[in-house]
Amino acid sequence: MLDDLKSKHTAIVKHEAAKLGFDFCGISTARFLEEEAPRLEHWLNQNYHGAMAYMANHFDKRLDPRLLVPGAKSVISLMINYYPSEVQVHKDAPKISKYAYGADYHEVIKAKLHELIDTLREKIGEIEGRVFVDSAPVMDKAWAKQSGMGWMGKNTNIINKNSGSFFFIAELITDLNLIPDTAIKDYCGTCTRCIDACPTDALYAPFQLDASKCISYLTIELKEEIPTSFKGQFEDWAFGCDICQDVCPWNRFSKPHQHEALKANESLLAMTKTEWAEITSLAFERVFKKSAVKRTKFNGLKRNLNFISSS
């Protein structure tokens, strides 16, 4: 009887997630991530998190979702495709990561997650749960891997065999007792294209990322001046970096997303090299009003633009 109920509830979760536009939904049993604990401790001890001091906070909560949501039994992992059909028009313009072409994904996905949990309460009954989109100490890639939505690539991104890696990951941690999915095998094989292509050597070994050297970290997370030792290595990336994904053979299977809310901002894609160089605070507010690029603030973006132009 209990197994029948778990099966029924699992089917409801996956059906409703798909209806809301989530491209993948996988389930894991809420537990302590024993195999991740020593890896996380080593990563922090090596200061690979750079100036992201928050990564060292809440170590236990980061590894055990039951400390975030008392009574949690399941971690529902969800992925949304953001691979765009459009590209930046001018090849010589400063580059921004594909995930920032459209509206800020935090707001778009969080709204979907709240709708999902409301729907589950209607269909199943009173349940406890919290939603997460880069908003708390949750190891989203570890849970996505556990739930079989993909494997952890050598570039430390989750790769789906049929759809590549251009996905946002989110979680709903809940007290629902659900049937967990099974992790899949690693299909990276002997390929090292992502490691070979990383211009700053942030990917210093397979499955190992020194975030303090990553262009995404340096252009978004780092609030101080970018170290001059990185001069000439940014390859014109002004916000984020897609190099390790662009060179991944599995991304030949990436398909343009169909999410209207994540549709690319045409004004942003059409900006010329000169317009980027001469951008004003007013233009910044207008073009990036709903974009994740606003995380850098105007001064942060200008710092990045000045850095790559002087390299």
Q: CA-to-CA distance for 221 and 219, rounded, in angstroms?
A: 6
- Cα 11 from Cα 181, distance rounded (Å): 12
Structure-block tokens of residue 169: 């990951």
* Two tokens, residue 140: 């989203």
The active-site residue, picked from 92, 134, 196, 201, is 134
CB 183 within 8 A of CB 149: no
Sign, CA torsion 253/256/257/261? positive
Which DSSP string corresponds to 86-102? ---S-TTSPEE-GGGSS
- C-beta separation of 194 from 155 below 8 A: yes
DSSP letter string, 136-192 = SS--HHHHHHHTTS-EE-TTSSEEBTTTBS-EEEEEEEES---PPP-------TT--
Q: Is 246 a catalytic residue?
A: no
Angle between helices 2-19 and 105-124 (to 10 degrees): 140
203-211 contacts at long range (C-beta below 8 A, 24 or more positions apart) = 203/154, 203/155, 203/156, 203/244, 206/154, 207/152, 207/153, 207/154, 207/156, 208/156, 209/48, 209/155, 209/156, 210/46, 210/48, 211/48, 211/49, 211/50, 211/52
Active site residues: 134
